[in-house]
């Protein structure tokens, strides 16, 4: 029989999040910057307004403005047209290295966790999110 969990769910979520933030900090990135870089990478070139729209659930406009300014200043991202964003060559290379480290982190975090267990966790967290946002909670 498994021992009962000793901490509330927030404890485990925060510890996992802190570990991911440590990986990203090694590249001078925040979680939001990492997410923005992936949005831009996935689109190749993207209007700034679309980045704001995609990221709206995760960060407010002021935070995104600061993140984008930092990414542009540090040569991850460039303005490539009227308010269009793209990764620089340097940014693409750096992002490749970060993605390798994040993949290793994810692989390590998933050791001894089956796909079914992972999907159960995701379903439960999604229900919790819907319950808290009053979006058609499931019975």
- pLDDT at position 44: 86
Residues 71 and 134 in one domain: no
Pair 83, 42 in one domain: yes
Considering the chain, what is the average pLDDT of its residues? 92
Contacts of 76 (CB under 8 A, 6+ apart): 33, 37, 87, 88, 90, 91, 94, 95
Residue 139 confidence (pLDDT) above 60: no
pLDDT tens-digit series, residues 13-70: 999 999 999 999 999 999 999 999 999 999 989 999 999 999 999 999 999 999 999 9
Task: Judge if 24 and 63 occupy the same domain.
Answer: yes
The whole domain housing 57 covers 9-100
Q: pTM for this structure?
A: 0.84
* 30 and 57 assigned to the same domain: yes
Same domain, 91 and 114: no
Tokens of 21: 């933030």
Do 87 and 138 share a domain, yes or no?
A: no
In a domain, 95, yes or no: yes
Residue 1 in domain: no
pLDDT at 82 over 50: yes
For residues 99 and 30, the answer to whether their CB atoms sit within 8 Å is no
- Write the CB contacts of 17 (distance below 8 Å, at least 6 apart in sequence): 31
């Amino acid at each position: 029989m498994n021992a009962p969990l000793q901490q509330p769910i927030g404890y485990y979520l925060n510890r996992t999040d802190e570990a991911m933030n440590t990986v990203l900090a090694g590249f001078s990135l925040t979680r939001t910057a990492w997410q923005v870089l992936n949005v831009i990478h996935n689109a190749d070139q993207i209007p700034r307004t679309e980045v704001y729209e995609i990221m709206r659930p995760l960060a407010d406009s002021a935070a995104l403005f600061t993140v984008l300014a930092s990414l542009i200043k540090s040569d991850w991202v460039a303005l490539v047209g009227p308010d269009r964003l793209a990764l620089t060559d340097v940014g693409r290379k750096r992002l490749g290295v970060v993605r390798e480290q994040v993949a290793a982190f994810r692989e390590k975090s998933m050791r001894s966790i089956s796909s079914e267990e992972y999907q159960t966790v995701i379903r439960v967290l999604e229900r919790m999110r819907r319950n808290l946002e009053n979006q058609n909670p499931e019975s």
